[in-house]
Structure 1
Amino acid sequence: MSVPATGFTLDVLEWEPWLAPVDYATATEAQRAALAETPSNTGLSPYSLMLAHDPEALRQRTPLFNGIMYAPRGLPRAERELATLVESVLNGCVYCASVHARRFAELTKEPEVVHRLYAEGAGTDLDPRRRAIVDFAAKLTATPPAAGPEDVAALRAAGLDDLQILDLIHAVAIFAWANRLMLTLGEPVRAAPG
């Protein structure tokens, strides 16, 4: 039995959907094809299986997601993870924040940055480049977005080029969408102790 996960963490969490996931054994050909495009080093997640109820949407989502988060160009991956960590924290998505926190910490070997963000919020002390990225991610996450031309200028002053700025916007925007799906279709959980 699992228990709801509360509080932001670097721990590995699970996610339980409130809608029944597609059973892969009885999935349609279209559902299986859409799921085949979903990258995972851990198998098919309950989230992907739940999204497979609409295989066409999943088939369209997967390459867009992969192109934004995993493309080997533009904004470095660690900075995408930092931006989406901030976005996920501000949206209250404990599950996504835990994933981005771990990836950022793994890529940078700086888990202390994550701990400071969790303890002090987005205003924590950061170098100028990270400060500009975190500030922009926070403003873009606001509803309605509060980011403006002065924020783009701050990113440029911190050394980001146009492609990196666009990558930052794409990463924050796609995870705002993912957060809303995860927050309304299920909840983060911790596996109950053995």
Structure 2
Amino acid sequence: MNNPETSSTKATRYPAPEIKDVPEDIRAKILEVQEKAGFVPQVFLALARRPAEWRSFFAYHDALMLPESVGRTSNLTKADREMIVTTTSAANNCLYCVVAHGAILRIYEKKPLVADQVAINYRKADISPRQRAMLDFAMKVCLRSDQIEDGDFAPLHAHGLNDEDIWDIAAITAFFGLSNRMASFSNMMPNPEFYLMGRVPKQK
């Protein structure tokens, strides 16, 4: 397991704090992630330089990406959520989020090719018609949110998604638009571990 104090966990333009120097509640969360993943994703330490923003960022992240943690149910799967992040992050040219969330998408969707496909051209990806409609909407929110009309909801309703699910699609897209820009401007680089995750089946 990587030592969070010695592994490469620093954004280039803004040095990340050492894990021993962050507030105890944040340190506990970071160590929990490390225990589960085997490494500390760059974003956790990069944002910890501003603890109040870290707490707000990850509270909203968890409310959107782990709705059960705030007592909500949703028709979007974990793979759907990661697919939205990967696709819209690619549109925003965010290297960190495409690589990191693409890795999680491959694992949840159990398709080693899907992250690369949706990042390059989701219309040709091996995804369901429901996911295609979901990404059509997410991309419109990402690139032309001022042009969203009532008619844009109909294809999603036809696939069994309700208005709260559609809110999720829009909110995830908007939240990661923030994340994309923070990662890009600070020159946050993906952990090397992300690149291979989910590409090769685990040895039994």
Q: State the TM-score, normalizing by the size of structure 1.
A: 0.76
The amino acid across from 1:16 in the alignment is: A
Q: Please name the residue that 2:198 is paired with.
A: none
Which runs of 5 or more structure 1 residues have no equivalent in the other structure?
Answer: 1-12
RMSD (CA atoms): 2.6
Q: In 1, distance between residues paired with 2:9 and 2:112? A: 20
Q: In 1, distance between residues paired with 2:172 and 2:10? A: 21
Q: Please name the residue that 1:127 is paired with.
A: 128
Quick one: structure 1 residues 181 and 137, their matched pair in 2 at CA, closer, same or farther if it must change by over 3 Å?
A: same
Q: Please name the residue that 2:97 is paired with.
A: 96
Are 1:55 and 2:70 counterparts?
Answer: no
Corresponding residue pairs, total: 175
Quick one: structure 1 residues 151 and 61, their matched pair in 2 at CA, closer, same or farther if it must change by over 3 Å?
A: same
Q: Please name the residue that 2:14 is paired with.
A: 19
The amino acid across from 1:124 in the alignment is: K
Deviates more, 1:153-162 or 1:181-190: 181-190
The amino acid across from 2:180 in the alignment is: N
Asked whether the 8 Å contact 1:24–1:49 carries over to 2, the reply is yes
Asked whether the 8 Å contact 1:83–1:134 carries over to 2, the reply is yes
Deviates more, 1:16-25 or 1:69-78: 16-25
Structure in which a larger fraction of residues adopt helix: 2
User: How far apart are 1:52 and its partner, in Å?
Assistant: 2.0
Q: In 1, distance between residues paired with 2:149 and 2:51? A: 36
Alignment of 1:130-141 (within 5 A): 130-141=131-142
Q: In 2, distance between residues paired with 1:25 and 1:127? A: 45
User: How far apart are 1:44 and its partner, in Å?
Assistant: 4.4
Which runs of 5 or more structure 2 residues have no equivalent in the other structure?
Answer: 1-7, 193-204
Q: In 1, distance between residues paired with 2:42 and 2:83? A: 25
Quick one: structure 1 residues 108 and 45, their matched pair in 2 at CA, closer, same or farther if it must change by over 3 Å?
A: closer
User: How far apart are 1:15 and its partner, in Å?
Assistant: 6.7
Instruction: Output one character per residue of 1:68-87: Cα deviation in whole Å (capped at 9) or x when no partner.
Output: 11223212111111111111
Identity of aligned residues (%): 23
Structure in which a larger fraction of residues adopt strand: 1
Higher relative contact order (CA 8 A, sep 6+): 1
